[in-house]
Amino acid sequence: MSGGEANGGAAFAFTPEVMARAKAIIAKYPPGRQASAVLPLLDLAQRQNGGWVSRAAMDHVAEVLEMAPIKVYEVATFYTMFNLKPVGRHLVQLCRTTPCWLRGSEELRYAAQQELGVGLKQTTADGQFTLVEVECLGACVNAPVVQINDHFYEDLDAESFRELLRALRRGETPAIGSKTGRQCSAPASGPTTLKEIGRG
C-alpha cells in the first residue's frame, strides 16, 4: 500500500445506521467467521466515506470484525472496486475490454476528456467527476458501456456520452440503460426471430 493513497482521511467510525447494517451483515456468518464480512463492510465504509476507503476506515472495519488491520488492507488493495484516495461525486468508469473497444470506447474516452477537462485517474477541479478505465463491466452486447457510481449506461456514442456528462453536471438524473432505446440485450438491429407471434 503506498503511503499517499490509503493513509489520508480523518477519523472514521460507522454511523449508527450504517453500524446496524454492518451488524445485520455480520449476523449472516457463523460465530467466529465474522471476517467473511470484510468485503460488504468495506463497501459500507466506502459509501459512508464519500466514495473511498481511507486508512482510518479500513482500521475501523478491522476493529468491527476483530481482524488484524493488515488483513483488511490486503483485501482493500486487491479489489479494484475500492478506491484508496478521494474520488469525485461522479466516478466515471469507462470499460475498455475488447467488445467496448471494438464499438467505440476510445471515442468515449476522448469525449470525456474533452468534456471534463481531465485525463484518466484525474478528478475535475470542482470535485464532481473522476475519470478512470476499468475492465469488463459485464454488458458486452450493449457495448460501449460506462458505469457511473452504481449506474450503467449502455449503447453510448461520443455525443450521447457528452450529453450524459452534461446532464450530471446540471444535477439531473439521467435514465440508466441503453441510450438507443434498446430493450435489455435485444439485437441492435431489431428482432431476428419470432417476428410474428401466431395465435393458437
Q: Is 12 exposed, middle or buried (0-12, 13-18, 19+ CB in 10 A)?
A: middle
Tell me which residues of the chain have a pLDDT lower than 50: 1-6
CA distance 3 to 173: 36
Give the helix/strand (H/E) hosting 45.
Answer: helix 38-48
Tell me which residue of 132, 136, 151, 134 sits closest to 99, measured CA to CA: 136
Tell me which residue of 200, 148, 137, 196 sits closest to 174, measured CA to CA: 148
Q: Do 94 and 70 have their domain in common?
A: no
Q: Do 125 and 167 have their domain in common?
A: yes
C-alpha separations of 141 from 109, 111, 148, 185 in Å: 19, 22, 18, 6
Using only C-alpha atoms, the chain has a radius of gyration, in whole angstroms, of: 20
C-alpha separations of 6 from 12, 107, 132, 136 in Å: 13, 32, 18, 25
pLDDT tens for 87-99 read: 999 999 999 999 9
Count of alpha carbons within 13 Å of 115, Cβ hemisphere only? Answer: 23
Q: Please state the domain count of the chain.
A: 2
User: 122 by DSSP, 3-state: which?
Assistant: strand
pTM: 0.84
- The b-or-e profile of 75-85 (16+ CB within 10 A means b, else e) is bbbeeeebbbb
In this structure, is residue 184 part of a structural domain?
no
Q: Do 71 and 94 have their domain in common?
A: no
Whether the CB-CB separation of 75 and 39 falls below 8 Å is answered with yes
Q: Residue 18: give its domain's CATH number.
A: 1.10.10
Mean predicted lDDT score pLDDT of the chain:
92
In this structure, is residue 192 part of a structural domain?
no
pLDDT at 1: 39
Q: Do 73 and 127 have their domain in common?
A: no
pLDDT at 8: 56
Q: Which three cell numbers stand for residue 129?
A: 467527476
pLDDT at 129: 98
Q: Do 159 and 100 have their domain in common?
A: yes
Q: Do 69 and 108 have their domain in common?
A: no
* Domain span at 35: 3-78
